[in-house]
């Protein structure tokens, strides 16, 4: 474990630079792209041979079940099952505690796991573990809003004051449109800066229940990030407001609406909002390193996610995420006009990626991919799909902000990130990344994406 503390760190009980990155950005990382991501702390646990064998057995069981369902073996399609399991194991061997992944190419599907769900007991990860998916929730919320657009109940370019005049009144409410909330060009500030102000606040808020109006007002009273419509500035407040908009026009709790009209319609069986701080299904423990501030990393799997709400509170599995994005991109959840609006993008400052309405677009050497990522304390997720939903990967892992920071408080390159880059590129492009793993140069695989702002 890396224990030395850079000179720029402040005392632990004040808001240090690294703790600020953790406390104030639980659903999103800094808006500027990280130039690389870091030398691995000696925090990874290499699973013993028996553990690796057990997880290989789990992957084999998934493959056998797929074969029984008529799914083609890897030799007949683009998914190389063995290569994906090797690259996921390499991700663990590089220092990641535990990970689970699902990839597919048309009918051919692979699911796998590597490493441990609990570093104390050595309990293994499994492919179907439930996982907090953070801001991937935003895609679900955006789909729900766009469904109401299709019904004529919401107008994308109407001012938000038409629907929420008490929350966003006056000139500001007239200037900010529904579209600006969904593509993060509203300029509204970030509420997480107000509720996670110190490292201690990460603990005091663990079981606290937040009301969405409270979160929205905190974000609306924060300093604006820009004038409305000026530029993309990622803010969780936008999607808390989107949830309140859904509640206003449908008369339902937004979580209930999303469950009925998005989750069930997509055929998802293991995706849900939960009122409990405990994930009541098989899951990994969630370890937050806070860029070395927490030594050893702290465990955060028990947490009241009302602070994330319609911006970041969903739990899912990797196969469910693939199923969701496939349903979305194939037109099962939205009419063509609304899906086209969702895929109308704006530039992300400092990034080659672009952002639609709750949807990220990324170009890799093998083509264009759509999806999102998610980051909460101790859990991160990537989910990416080709435009037709045929080629997909979703991967979740249970150790976050494991990197070291440089003198400017920016994460430095890490073998863990290189290994993740390789796994994602293997899944999407049927070949390992040719880059350095952290995206220090364009066109080198998903490293280019991993170097972009983590949308959280």
Residues involved in catalysis:
135
Are 270 and 281 spatial neighbours (Cβ–Cβ below 8 Å)? yes
Are 366 and 428 spatial neighbours (Cβ–Cβ below 8 Å)? yes
Residue 277 to residue 108: CA distance in whole angstroms:
36
3-state secondary structure of 182: helix
- First vs last C-alpha separation in the chain: 26
Residue 224 to residue 208: CA distance in whole angstroms:
26
- In degrees and rounded to multiples of 5, residue 379 shows phi and psi of -145, 130
Residue 74 to residue 59: CA distance in whole angstroms:
13
How does DSSP assign 365-434, residue by residue? TTEEEEEEEEEETTEEEEEEE-TTS-EEEEEEESEES-SPB-TTS-B---HHHHHHHHHHHHHHHSS---
Residue 81 to residue 60: CA distance in whole angstroms:
9
Are 22 and 16 spatial neighbours (Cβ–Cβ below 8 Å)? no
- The answer for residues whose C-beta is within 8 angstroms of residue 310's C-beta and 6 or more apart is 137, 138, 141, 212, 239, 240, 242, 243, 246, 254, 255, 258
Helices and strands: H and E segment counts in the chain = 16, 13
Residue 86 to residue 59: CA distance in whole angstroms:
12
Residue 170 to residue 377: CA distance in whole angstroms:
36
Burial annotation 221-235 (CB, 10 A radius, 16+ → b, else e): ebeebeebeeebbbb
**β 399-400/287-288 pair status:** parallel
- In degrees and rounded to multiples of 5, residue 394 shows phi and psi of -135, 135
Residue 52 to residue 422: CA distance in whole angstroms:
19
Burial annotation 132-163 (CB, 10 A radius, 16+ → b, else e): bbbbbbbbbbbbbbbbbbbeeebebeebbbbb
Orientation angle between helical segments 137-150 and 318-329, nearest 10 degrees: 30
How does DSSP assign 441-454, residue by residue? STTSSTHHHHTSPP
């Amino acid at each position: 474990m890396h224990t030395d503390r850079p000179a720029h760190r402040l005392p632990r009980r004040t808001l240090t630079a690294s703790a600020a990155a953790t406390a104030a950005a639980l659903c999103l990382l800094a808006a500027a792209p990280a130039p690389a991501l870091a030398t691995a702390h000696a925090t990874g646990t290499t699973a013993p041979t028996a553990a690796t064998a057990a997880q290989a057995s789990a992957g084999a069981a998934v493959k056998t079940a797929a074969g029984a369902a008529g799914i083609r073996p890897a030799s007949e399609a683009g998914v190389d099952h063995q290569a994906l399991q090797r690259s996921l194991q390499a991700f663990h061997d590089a220092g990641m505690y535990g990970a689970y992944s699902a990839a597919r190419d048309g009918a051919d599907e692979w699911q796998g796991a590597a490493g441990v769900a609990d570093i104390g007991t050595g309990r293994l990860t499994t492919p179907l573990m439930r996982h907090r998916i953070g801001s991937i929730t935003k895609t679900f919320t955006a789909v729900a809003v766009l469904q109401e657009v299709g019904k004529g109940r919401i107008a994308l370019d109407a001012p938000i004051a038409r629907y929420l005049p008490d929350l966003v009144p006056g000139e500001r409410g007239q200037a900010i449109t529904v579209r600006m909330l969904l593509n993060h060009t509203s300029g509204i500030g970030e509420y997480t800066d107000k509720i996670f102000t110190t490292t201690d606040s990460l603990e005091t808020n663990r079981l606290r229940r937040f009301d969405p109006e409270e979160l929205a007002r905190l974000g609306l009273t924060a300093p604006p990030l820009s004038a409305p419509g000026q530029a993309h500035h990622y803010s969780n407040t936008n999607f808390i407001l989107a949830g309140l908009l859904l509640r206003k026009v449908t008369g339902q709790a937004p979580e209930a609406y999303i469950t009925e009209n998005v989750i069930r319609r997509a055929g998802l069986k293991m995706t849900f909002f939960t009122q409990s701080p405990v994930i009541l299904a098989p899951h990994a423990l969630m370890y937050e390193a806070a860029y070395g501030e927490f030594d050893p990393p702290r465990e955060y799997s028990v947490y009241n996610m009302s602070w994330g709400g319609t911006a970041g509170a969903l739990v899912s599995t990797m196969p469910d995420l693939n199923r969701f994005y496939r349903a979305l991109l194939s037109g099962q959840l939205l009419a063509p006009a609304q899906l086209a609006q969702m895929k109308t993008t704006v530039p992300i400052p400092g990034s080659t990626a672009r952002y639609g309405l709750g949807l990220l677009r990324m170009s890799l050497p093998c083509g264009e991919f759509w999806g999102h990522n998610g980051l909460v304390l101790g859990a991160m997720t990537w989910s990416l799909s080709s435009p037709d939903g045929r080629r997909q990967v979703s991967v979740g892992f249970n150790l976050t902000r494991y990197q070291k920071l440089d003198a400017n408080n920016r994460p430095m390159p890490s073998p863990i990130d290189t290994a993740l880059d390789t796994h994602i590129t293997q899944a999407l492009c049927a070949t390992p990344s040719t880059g350095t793993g952290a995206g220090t140069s364009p066109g080198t695989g998903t490293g280019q994406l991993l170097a972009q702002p983590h949308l959280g």
